[in-house]
Amino acid sequence: MRRQSDPPRGTSLALTLLLAAGCGAGARRNAVTFHDPNMDFSLVRTVAVMPLANLTPNPHAAERVRDTLATMLQATGSLYVVPAGEVARGISRSSLADAQAPTPEEAVQFAKLVQADALIVGTVREYGEVRSGSAAANVVALSVSMMEAASGRVVWSASSSEGGVGAGTRLFGGGGQPMNVVTERAIEDLLDKLFR
Amino acid sequence: MTMTCQRRVRTGGPIGAGVTLCAALCAALVTAAEETPPAAPGAPPQRLVVLPIESLVPVAAPLTEIRRGLVDRLGLRGVATLDDGRMEEILARHRLRYTGGVGREMAAAFREEARALLVVSVDLYDDGPPPRLGCIARLVSTDDPPRVLWAGGAARTGGDSPGLLGIGLELDPVVLRDDVLRKLADDVAAETGGQPSGDSRVRRDKPLPKLDPQRAFGALAAAETVRRVAVLPFDDRGAAPYAGTIVALQMVRALARRAPAETIEPGLVREALLEARLILEDGGPSLPQLALLRSLLDADLVVAGRVGEYLDLGGEWADPSVDLAVQAYDTRTGRVAWSSIGARRGAAGVVFFDLGRIHTAHALSEGMTDQLVRRMFAR
C-alpha cells in the first residue's frame, strides 16, 4: 500500500527540474516593470526613440539597439516612430543638455518640437560576449522608459536581459545565439511588457 | 582579346575545321568591335564610355588591368567603347575627377561622344589564396538628367566550389578576374545589343537566397505612385571601410533591377547633397532635408540606412556577415514608409557539406538588398 502511494523517483526528479526551469524563466520574465495606472496608452500614437545611454565597452551598442528598438516598435503597427534624423534635428534645435536623460520640462518641449506623444529613453547595460569557463555566449541587458509628452512623467518602465551562458551552452558548447537574435528577443520581451 | 581568342580555340575541339571556324568567328568579332557602328544624325554615337574604376577596397587592386580587361571583353562582344585617350582628355578638360557616379556635368561632357557611361566599382579584391574579386556596375545614360539604364554586378572567390579534395579550388587571380569580367561584359552586352558569350562560371539569374530582413515595417500604401527613388549613402557604424557606400550601391542595383520605379543615379544624389551642402545627421535625413531632396531630385522615396557590420575576411572558410538597418521615407508626407533590420551570416544556410554557403559579403548584401526591395514593393 505504502509503496503504491510513493511517486516514482524519476517523476520527482523531473518535477524538480521543471520547477527549477520555471523559477529561472520566471526570474527573467518577472523583471521590474512599471505601468502608470492612470495612463491611457491607446492615446500614444507617435513616439520618438531618444539616443540610448551606453554603459558597455562596445561604442556602437546603443545605436544598434536603438535601430532594432525603433524598427520593432514600428513593426507592431500600433505606433509610429519619429525618424532618427528628425530626432537628431530636434535635439540640436532644443539644445538638450543630455539627450539620453531629459528632464520632464525638456521632454515636454522636445516632444512638442518633434510632434511626438511620448519619448522612449533607455540604457544599454550589457552588450556583447560573456564567458563562463570555456563557454562563451552573447548577452544583452537594457532598460527603457516612456515619458509622456504632456507632463514629462515616466508612465512605463521596464528592463530585460537575454542570452548569456546557459546550461546547454556549458554542456554542449556552441557559443549561444547571434547578437542580433539576442537583441531582438530582449526587445520582444520589452514590447510584451509594454503592450500587456 | 588575344587570350580569349586562344581560349576559344582551345575549347573549340580537336577537329581542325572547328578550330578554323572558331578562329574566323573571333576575328570577325574583333573586327566588329574595332568598328564604331554608324550613329543616326543628331543622336549620340552608339558606344559606351567605360569610366576609370572606383576602388572600394582597402587594398591596392589592379584597377587599370580590370578596366582594360573589361574594355577588351566588351569589344569581343560587339560593344563599341570610346578610346582611352579621348576619355581622359574629356575628363581632364572638364576637370572631372570623381568617377564613381555620373552627375549632370559628366553626362553633358560625354553626350557628343557616347550613348552611355559604364560605372564600375570594385568592392571586393584579394589576391588570395584563394583570390576574390567583386564588382558592382551600372550603365548610365548621357541624357539630361542622366538615367540608370542597367545595374548589376559579379563576384567570385577561388573557393566558391572547392569540390572533392579541393580540386575545384581556383588559385589563379588572373583566371578568376577573367571569369568575373566575362560575366560583367556579357551582362552589359545583353543590355546594349551586343552578343553575350555566356561562358562565365559566375551564375546568372540565380534564385534569390532566403535573406529576408528579420523585422520589417512597411507602409508604402501605394507603391505604384512612387515614380523616383533616391538612395543616400549609408551610415557606416564601425563596419569595414566603404561598407556604407558598397551597401548603398547594392541598394541602387537592387532597386534598378526590381523596383517598379526609376532609381535616381547616385552621381546625381551626390551632386544634390554637395550643392545643398546637406550633412546628414545621425540616423538619416530630417523632415526639411527630405523636402529639400524632393525639390532637388524630384524623388518620391528616399532610402537611407546604417551598416552595423560588413565582415568580409579572406580565406577558404571565412564566414562573411552583414548587418543592415534600412529606412525609406515618403518625401510627400515626410513619414517613414519602410523600416527593416536584418543581419545575416554566410554559413547560416549551410545544412551539410558546405552546401548553401555564401562566400562573400558582396553576395550576402546583394541577396539581402534584393529581398528587401522585393518586399518593400510587394503588393
Nearest CA-CA partner of B257 in B124, B139, B379: B139
Extract the runs of DSSP E, i.e. beta strands, from chain B: 48-50, 54-55, 116-126, 132-141, 148-157, 215-218, 228-231, 235-236, 262-263, 301-311, 321-330, 335-345
**Helical ranges in B111-172 per DSSP H:** none
Chain A interface includes B311 (CB < 8 A): no
Any residues with CB less than 8 A from the CB of A123 and at least 6 apart, and which?
A52, A53, A54, A55, A100, A142, A143, A144
By CA distance, what is B329's nearest residue in A?
A83
Mean pLDDT of the B242-252 span: 92
**E strand or H helix at A154:** strand A154-163
Give the three cell numbers for residue A64. Answer: 544598434
Is A136 within 8 Å of A99 (Cβ atoms)?
A: no
User: How crowded is the C-beta side of A150, counted as CA atoms within 13 Å?
Assistant: 6
Mean pLDDT of the B194-207 span: 63
| Contact: B325, A60; criterion CB under 8 Å | no
Residue A7 reports pLDDT greater than 60? no
Nearest CA-CA partner of B73 in B136, B7, B127: B7
| Contact: A86, B341; criterion CB under 8 Å | no
Between residues B176 and A190, which one has the greater pLDDT?
A190
Using CA atoms of B13, B15, B16, B22 in order, give the dihedral in degrees to the nearest 10. -30
Neighbours of A77 (CB within 10 A): 9
| Contact: B217, A83; criterion CB under 8 Å | no
Is B29 within 8 Å of B76 (Cβ atoms)?
A: yes
Between residues B157 and B198, which one has the greater pLDDT?
B157
ipTM above 0.90, yes or no: no
Burial of residue A97 (CB within 10 Å: 0-12, 13-18, 19+) is exposed
pTM of the model: 0.79
Chain A interface includes B227 (CB < 8 A): no
Using a pLDDT cut of 70, give the percent of chain A over it.
80
Chain A interface includes B237 (CB < 8 A): yes
Q: How far is CA B188 from CA A184, B28, B181, B185, in A?
A: 41, 20, 10, 5
By CA distance, what is A182's nearest residue in B?
B343
Residue A11 reports pLDDT greater than 90? no
Is B159 within 8 Å of B359 (Cβ atoms)?
A: yes
| Contact: B280, A85; criterion CB under 8 Å | yes
Which residues in chain A have their CB less than 8 angstroms from residue B216's CB? Answer: 71, 75
Q: What is the pLDDT of residue A177?
A: 78
Return d(Cα A143, Cα A69) in angstroms, integer: 12
Q: How far is A89 from chain B (nearest CA, A)?
A: 6
* Partner-chain residue, chosen from A63, A71, A86, that has the shortest CB–CB distance to B237: A63
> Does residue B235 sit in helix, strand or coil?
strand
Which residues in chain B have their CB less than 8 angstroms from residue A48's CB? Answer: none
| Contact: B308, A67; criterion CB under 8 Å | yes
Using a pLDDT cut of 70, give the percent of chain B over it.
77
Chain A interface includes B281 (CB < 8 A): yes
Q: What is the pLDDT of residue B280?
A: 77
